[in-house]
Amino acid sequence: MKIKFLPFAAVAFVLFTGGCATMQPGPTAVDTSREVESLARRFPPGAKAPTDAEIVALLKASFKDSPSAKLDRLDQTPLQMACTEASRSGKPLDEKLRDGLQAAALASVKYPADGKYLGDWKRGKAIAQNGRGLQYTDKVGDVAGGNCYACHQIDKKEIAHGNIGPSLTGYGKLRGQTEPIVKYTWARIWNSHSFNACANMPRFGDAGILTEAQIKDVMALLLDPESPVNQ
């Protein structure tokens, strides 16, 4: 399978990702110049567009393993490959394929064994604000955060937040704590692809980013009436 490819964009993209992901000190001007020249020779103007396999190989060559950040992060799941192709073609997923992918994602959700969904909203607030974890500088086993504010408004008093995802202000106040709402919220956090096959939201439980206990705390942040989210 081939894709449209702009040599200059490839150089800029790989240089950017390489500089961030190789776990090396920041490049000097000389290092940067040499890398640009090397990539430009590989992708001269008018060159034949590389295959998907060649692009993946180039990306992997620009990364290095670290104990907490492995190259397998670049390996796509069947769902991710389907969504990549949909994005590239500009066409939505086939409905049957989409429904099958979402059903598989929902079936993968692990609900709390003890039947308790809400933890401590105060701990959940700290998790939502914490953007660290699973980075090359972290030690294996370090507790990760959710970095929820990168995409969502949560506490209306917090002025620094992203807008890729919807505002979650008043989440529990507006929706309540019925069993369907609680289970939907848990599943959405555990594996967001359960309801939107090509969602940008990380699979916090399915990918092992947050523990079950941490997800309970984030659930409390969203649903507990005492949480600042619901004030």
Q: Can you give the pTM of this predicted structure?
A: 0.77
- Percent of the chain scoring above 90 in pLDDT: 61
Instruction: Answer yes or no: do 72 and 20 share one domain.
Output: no
Residue 114 resides in a domain: no
Instruction: Answer yes or no: do 167 and 215 share one domain.
Output: yes
CB atoms under 10 Å from CB of 217, counted, come to 23
Residue 112 resides in a domain: no
Residue 62 resides in a domain: yes
Instruction: Answer yes or no: do 166 and 71 share one domain.
Output: no
Phi, psi angles (nearest 5°) of residue 83: -70, -35
Residue 208 has pLDDT above 80, yes or no: yes
Where in the sequence is the domain holding 72, given as residue range(s)?
52-107
Instruction: Answer yes or no: do 134 and 171 share one domain.
Output: yes
Residue 148 resides in a domain: yes
Give the pLDDT of residue 64: 85
Q: What is the CATH number of the domain that holds 141?
A: 1.10.760.10
Strand partners, 51: 2
Work out the average pLDDT over 187-208: 96
Instruction: Answer yes or no: do 125 and 226 share one domain.
Output: yes
Instruction: Answer yes or no: do 77 and 144 share one domain.
Output: no
Distance CA 210, CA 9 (A): 34
Instruction: Report the 3 state secondary structure along the chain.
Output: CECCCCHHHHHHHHHHHHHHHCCCCCCCHHHHHHHHHHHHHHCCCCCCCCEHHHHHHHHHHCCCCECCECHHHHCCCHHHHHHHHHHHHCCCCCHHHHHHHHHHHHHCCCCCCCCCCCCCHHHHHHHHHCCCCCCCCCCCCCCCCCCHHHCCCCCCCCCCCCCCCCCCCCHHHHHCCCHHHHHHHHHHHHCHHHCCCCCCCCCCCCCCCCCHHHHHHHHHHHHCCCCHHHC
Q: pLDDT tens digits, residue range 87-145?
A: 989 999 999 999 999 999 999 999 999 999 999 999 999 999 999 988 888 888 889 99
Place 222 in a pLDDT band, splitting at 50, 70 and 90: very high
How many folded domains does the chain comprise?
Answer: 3
Residue 115 resides in a domain: no
Instruction: Answer yes or no: do 174 and 86 share one domain.
Output: no
Q: pLDDT tens digits, residue range 138-186?
A: 888 889 999 999 999 999 998 999 999 999 999 999 999 999 999 999 9
- CB distance 7 to 45 below 8 Å: yes
